[in-house]
Amino acid sequence: MPLCLALAACQAKNPAGDEEAKPETVPVSNGDGSGAVSTATPESKPAEKPVNVHKSTKWPPAEVSSGTATVSCDVDPGKGESRPLTNLEFFSVVDAMSPCQESGAIRLSYSGKIAADFTDLVDRVGAMADRMDIRTRVLDLDSSGGRVEDAMKAGDIIAESRWTLRVGEAAICHSACVLVLAAGDDRAIAGKVGIHRMVRIGSKASSRTELSEELQQVYQRMKAYLERNGASVAVADLMMTVPNRSLRLLGEDELKEYGLDGTNAAQDDLERIVLSRKCGEDFVKRKDEYSRAYEAECAAKKTGTSVACAAALDARYGFPDPKCPADGPQPASG
């Protein structure tokens, strides 16, 4: 029977060739020893259509069980009141996030394994932030890893939800957590980021060839995931060279080289394309030139002097622009 790795559906005919056999589930982790993903059997009821949490208020019961989550309306660590978030039903999330509507900012802190409940967490908090028009979103991560497939699901949700991801000085982001990190619009890293080889739970491989074949589907999906999220596919290749029982910490230069720190290149390209359609290519060019000039001429000056410097750049590069006054460079338009 063909293998079915994590995110892939795998069906094969039985030896007689007259019926489809039950799909085989092959859960993939990054070394945390998580259990298997369940699969429907012929006797099971048909799966219900997933609820779109962005449109419905009848969210299915869910809770954070693989770690701990807190919500604060102050994006700076250690500031503002942090409220625990365990129950992920609609009105529990409303209660936790309502205080953040006034400030328009939220900091979600998560410490624990990357699993299905983490995916629910970022999906539902992001959906509620959309409903409440909370634009500034920061996710503080502290995780030793978890399931690769859940990390990619959570990452794709984060990629569409305008999150800044942070790994604090006392925090870690290892193993599958690195895939989540790849998806943020912006990444700020002070803690330790490390990778190692993923492992198939319950593997029956008896040779390197068999082991490689087992992992190829999820490996290819992981490379595609990294590529669409602006990170280097070299991360997936490097993962495959580090034994699962070991850990390869990534240095500051490597994090930038692999597209895991700072501005997400894919998001930056998308925003430039959207801005070009809205305001014109000349606007985008002038904004880029302004940013370079500000870094070279104004950034290092004292506050009062830098404001005057920025005002001079406004005049030089034609900001605020009459067509798009709200989209000009932030140092100039405040």
Least confident of 1-15, 89-103, 184-198, 241-255: 1-15
Mean pLDDT highest for which of 25-34, 121-130, 309-318, 322-331? 121-130
Instruction: State residue 187's pLDDT score.
Output: 96
Evaluate if residue 271 carries a pLDDT over 90: no
* 38 domain residue, yes or no: no
Evaluate if residue 290 carries a pLDDT over 70: yes
Report the mean per-residue pLDDT for the chain.
84
Q: Which run of H or of E encompasses 281? A: helix 281-297
Q: Tell me, yes or no, whether 203 and 237 share the same domain.
A: yes
Contact of 196 with 173, CB cutoff 8 Å = no
* 49 domain residue, yes or no: no
- How far apart (Å, rounded) are the C-alpha atoms in residues 53 and 269? 28
- How far apart (Å, rounded) are the C-alpha atoms in residues 334 and 328? 9
Domain end (from 223, 238, 267)? 267
Q: What share of the chain has pLDDT > 70, as a percent?
A: 82
Q: What is the mean pLDDT of residues 261-289?
A: 92
Q: What is the mean pLDDT of residues 49-77?
A: 89
Question: Tokens 């629910």 sit at which residue?
Answer: 120
Evaluate if residue 3 carries a pLDDT over 70: no
pLDDT digits (tens, 9 = 90+) for 65-95: 999 999 999 999 878 889 999 999 999 999 9
Q: What is the mean pLDDT of residues 277-298?
A: 92
Beta strands in 31-184 (DSSP E): 67-72, 82-84, 105-112, 136-142, 164-167, 172-174
Instruction: State residue 26's pLDDT score.
Output: 44
Residue 26: which of 156, 183, 210 has the closest Cα? 210
Instruction: State residue 77's pLDDT score.
Output: 84
Structure tokens at 121: 């967490």
Evaluate if residue 127 carries a pLDDT over 50: yes
Residue 85 DSSP label: -
Q: Tell me, yes or no, whether 241 and 285 share the same domain.
A: no
Confidence of residue 332 (pLDDT cuts 50, 70, 90): very low
Q: Tell me, yes or no, whether 317 and 207 share the same domain.
A: no
Evaluate if residue 32 carries a pLDDT over 60: no
Q: Tell me, yes or no, whether 246 and 289 share the same domain.
A: no
* 40 domain residue, yes or no: no
Domain end (from 213, 237, 267)? 267
Total Cβ atoms within 10 A of residue 136: 16
pLDDT digits (tens, 9 = 90+) for 211-263: 778 778 788 999 999 999 999 999 999 998 898 889 999 999 999 999 999 99
Q: Tell me, yes or no, whether 124 and 258 share the same domain.
A: yes
Q: Provide the angle, in degrees to the nearest 10, between the axes of the packed helices 90-97 and 116-131.
A: 60
Looking up residue 134, the CATH number of its domain turns out to be 3.90.226.10
Q: Tell me, yes or no, whether 261 and 287 share the same domain.
A: no
Instruction: State residue 80's pLDDT score.
Output: 83
- How far apart (Å, rounded) are the C-alpha atoms in residues 309 and 158? 36
Instruction: State residue 331's pLDDT score.
Output: 53
Domain extent for 149:
67-267
**Rg for the chain, CA atoms, rounded:** 23
Q: Is the pTM of this model over 0.85?
A: no
Q: What is the mean pLDDT of residues 308-314?
A: 91
Contact of 34 with 67, CB cutoff 8 Å = no
Confidence of residue 286 (pLDDT cuts 50, 70, 90): very high
Instruction: Please count the structural domains in the chain.
Output: 2
Q: What is the mean pLDDT of residues 309-324?
A: 92
pLDDT digits (tens, 9 = 90+) for 321-330: 999 999 998 7
Instruction: State residue 18's pLDDT score.
Output: 39
Is the pLDDT higher at 124 or at 213? 124
How many Å from the N-terminal Cα to the C-terminal Cα in the chain? 61
Instruction: State residue 318's pLDDT score.
Output: 94
- How far apart (Å, rounded) are the C-alpha atoms in residues 22 and 303? 66
Q: What share of the chain has pLDDT > 90, as a percent?
A: 62
Q: What is the mean pLDDT of residues 175-187?
A: 96
